[in-house]
Amino acid sequence: MNALAARRPRPATTVLLLILALVLGAAALVTFATRPASASSAASGDQIAQGKALFQASCASCHGINAQGTMTGSGTNVAGPALAGVGAAAVDFQVGTGRMPMAAPSIQAPRSKVQFSQEQIYAMAAYIASLAPGPAIPTAAQVDFAKGNAAVGGEIFRVNCAMCHNFAGSGGALTRGKYAPSLAGSTPTHIYEAMLTGPQSMPIFSDSDISVVGKRDVIAYLKAISKEPTQGGSRLGSLGPVSEGLFAWVFGLGLMVAAAVWLGKKAA
Amino acid sequence: MTTGMSDHSADIAPADHPSHPAELARTAPTGQLPARFENPGLPTHIPRMADLDEKAARRAEKQVAALFGLSILGTLGFIASYYLVTEHGSVFVPGIGLMRAENLALGLCLAVSLLGIGLGAVHWAKTLMPDTEVVELRHPLRSSDEDRQALVTTLREEGRKSQLGRRPLLKYSMLGAMTLFPATLTWQLVGGLGRLPHNDLSTTEWNGRYLGGGKWQFVPKRLMRDPENTPIKASDVVIGSVFHVQPEGVLDMTEGKLEAKGKAAVLLMRLNPSDIRSTKELDWSHDGIVAYSKICTHVGCPVGLYEHQTHHLLCPCHQSTFDVTNDCHVIFGPANRPLPQLKITVDSEGYLISAQPFEEAVGPSFWERGS
């Protein structure tokens, strides 16, 4: 046996090493796949390349081949805004709620069916985040609403959010067909990202405006009220006097008319 | 009533009177209106089942009693559920979802209790109480001449006996006492409106320090986040963001806090300075950071719906829309005046402060405002 052969690993060691490499690789994959874009440095070059390819296939027609934005060609109307600096959080929100890619140009991109897998969304987010620094996707701890204070969150929500999204988060109308969507069923991460990035008509609530803890409290409040049993029966969408008034006029008056008809009818 | 009825009984005789429409049609030439429509009278009275059949009447009686019994059960159920259903329990109701069990039980029992009485009473009236038509004619409201004359005589006679005419002192002192008396009621009412407002409607906490007697001394105040009550650095305000602001000290107030908040609330926004079209707005801003009163000039709702792409500021109550790029002029809706702008600057530590009070009264118009 020569020196080289002496240093050659035995078959069992090779197998063990292979298993170890597989486990480590899988662990790394899982780590990257679940929370990749918290910082652009965490994203691998492969992921950015994949994201770029996806972006150019699905988004570039409006946002430009290098995400520089495009104009519609009529006046100052923007077909798709430039995306440098919007951050991974904006991509995860817009694509993760199905708002992007938009099916057709319209006044507001509605929430709809999600077109990409979460992994693809993270890849696109990594690509956009690599263009310029922007808000990152919040970590699991930042959106862990179980740790939030719903009472404080309710106070922040009523001052900062309720005028558009309604006291119960049911949404409401804005100008010229735009609207603030209902917050029911939104995931904590998407709520956080919406505050952070200010999608569409919504203003930005940066971490210096509503703090990281404050954002978590707001999410805790929204989750708390969604679980709360109603006090007096159907909420009628929590829309206030419009739906309640309609119900009273239709069913209340209807019942009274029926009673009047019965009163006026002769018994058999 | 009886006399009235018998007087005119000929006019309202029902049934077999020859005034049936068919009869009229025969007497009048086709296509022409008759000279006078005859009184058709009352429709024929048709007796009810309960009038003819004692068995049916007893059945109706039982139905009414059952409804009243249902009401009793409802009331007892209400009392029972008051004690038995726990305060925090919830129950799933199809179509509604999870709801408070106590309110559901109380509401349903109360409905049964009241509906039982109501439905029972109506059913009773319809099946068992007499249903023959009764006609009651109007009679003149005027009293007879003798009665009227007697009243005048009595008043005159008693007035003379009271000696009011002979003793003027009595008359005038009594009149004085009686006219003054309502002052005790109105005094409370007017006094209860509170102290005179002076210039309260034209001043806010941004005016600085209150010296008394409606006078203020201006002191710059920091802009504080509402509700966190922390000062705002100019560098904290990114373009496109919006802060809800109260003057320093207001959120620490123990007395009159809500009134102060309601007047001093301010909305802070940062625009790209090149988007601002008004020179005054730019002068009063800091690096594109503008502060406007949050109180709508229409009826005083909090104007907080800011669309950061169109720079439209919208009031949730009546959809008044203000253009943030142009002095918050009204571009839609019932508001009549632009939102007042608060001139801001930064202090030595970089925190945003007020540079002067609001130049005009915030909120809706009022009598003394002058515009």
Judge: B240–A156 Cβ closer than 8 Å, yes or no.
no
Please tell me the predicted confidence (pLDDT) of residue B1. 36
Please tell me the predicted confidence (pLDDT) of residue B17. 47
Assess if residue B323 is contained within a domain.
yes
Å between B243 CA and nearest CA of chain A: 7
Judge: B100–A155 Cβ closer than 8 Å, yes or no.
no
Burial of B14 (0-12, 13-18, 19+ CB in 10 A): middle
Please tell me the predicted confidence (pLDDT) of residue B3. 40
Give me the DSSP letters along B129-193.
S------------SPPHHHHHHHHHHHHHHHHHTTTTT-HHHHHHHHHHHHHTTHHHHHHHHHTT
Q: Do A89 and A127 sit in the same domain of this protein?
A: yes
Query: Which residues in chain A come in under a pLDDT of 70?
Result: 1-18, 23-43
3-state secondary structure of B93: strand
Q: Do B267 and B306 sit in the same domain of this protein?
A: yes
Judge: A233–B49 Cβ closer than 8 Å, yes or no.
no
Assess if residue B188 is contained within a domain.
no
Judge: B131–A198 Cβ closer than 8 Å, yes or no.
no
Å between A140 CA and nearest CA of chain B: 24
Of B139, B134, B124, B82, nearest to B105 by C-alpha is B82
Give contacts of A198 with chain B, Cβ < 8 Å: 240-241, 308
Q: CB of A198 within 8 Å of any CB in chain B?
A: yes
Judge: A209–B96 Cβ closer than 8 Å, yes or no.
no
Strand ranges, E, within chain A = 70-71, 78-80, 172-173, 179-180
* Alpha helix stretches (DSSP H) within chain B: 2-7, 21-27, 49-52, 54-84, 101-127, 145-161, 168-180, 183-191, 257-264, 279-283
Å between A134 CA and nearest CA of chain B: 12
What are the distances in angstroms from CA A206 to CA A168, A241, B47, B238, B295? Answer: 22, 33, 80, 7, 24
Q: Do B96 and B205 sit in the same domain of this protein?
A: no
Q: Chunk chain B into consecutive blocks of 10 residues (it has 371) and report each block's average pLDDT, rounded to whole numbers.
A: 40 47 53 83 86 92 97 97 89 88 94 96 92 85 94 94 89 95 92 82 91 88 92 92 93 91 94 92 93 94 90 91 94 93 94 94 84 51
CATH of the domain at A185: 1.10.760
Tell me which of A137, A153, A183 is where a domain ends. A137
Least CA distance to B224: which residue of chain A?
A209
Å between B162 CA and nearest CA of chain A: 57
Give the range of the structural domain holding residue A243, as residue numbers without chain letter.
138-256
Going by the DSSP 8-state scheme, the letter that residue A184 receives in this structure is: T
Q: Do A92 and A173 sit in the same domain of this protein?
A: no
Assess if residue B186 is contained within a domain.
no
**Structurally, how many domains does chain B consist of?**
4
Q: CB of A231 within 8 Å of any CB in chain B?
A: yes
CATH of the domain at B286: 2.102.10.10
Interface of A with B in 57-96 (CB under 8 A): none
Give contacts of A256 with chain B, Cβ < 8 Å: none
Å between A12 CA and nearest CA of chain B: 60
Least CA distance to A227: which residue of chain B?
B98
Q: Do A90 and A171 sit in the same domain of this protein?
A: no
Please tell me the predicted confidence (pLDDT) of residue B12. 47
Please tell me the predicted confidence (pLDDT) of residue A179. 92
Judge: B126–A266 Cβ closer than 8 Å, yes or no.
yes
Q: Do A98 and A142 sit in the same domain of this protein?
A: no
Q: State the pairing for strand pair B329-332/B321-323.
A: antiparallel
Give contacts of A268 with chain B, Cβ < 8 Å: 48-49
3-state secondary structure of B292: strand
Interface test with B, best of A78, A209, A263 (most B CBs within 10 A): A209
* Alpha helix stretches (DSSP H) within A79-180: 87-96, 118-131, 150-160, 162-165
Least CA distance to A196: which residue of chain B?
B241
Q: Do B95 and B39 sit in the same domain of this protein?
A: no
Assess if residue B193 is contained within a domain.
no
Give the range of the structural domain holding residue B6, as residue numbers without chain letter.
1-44
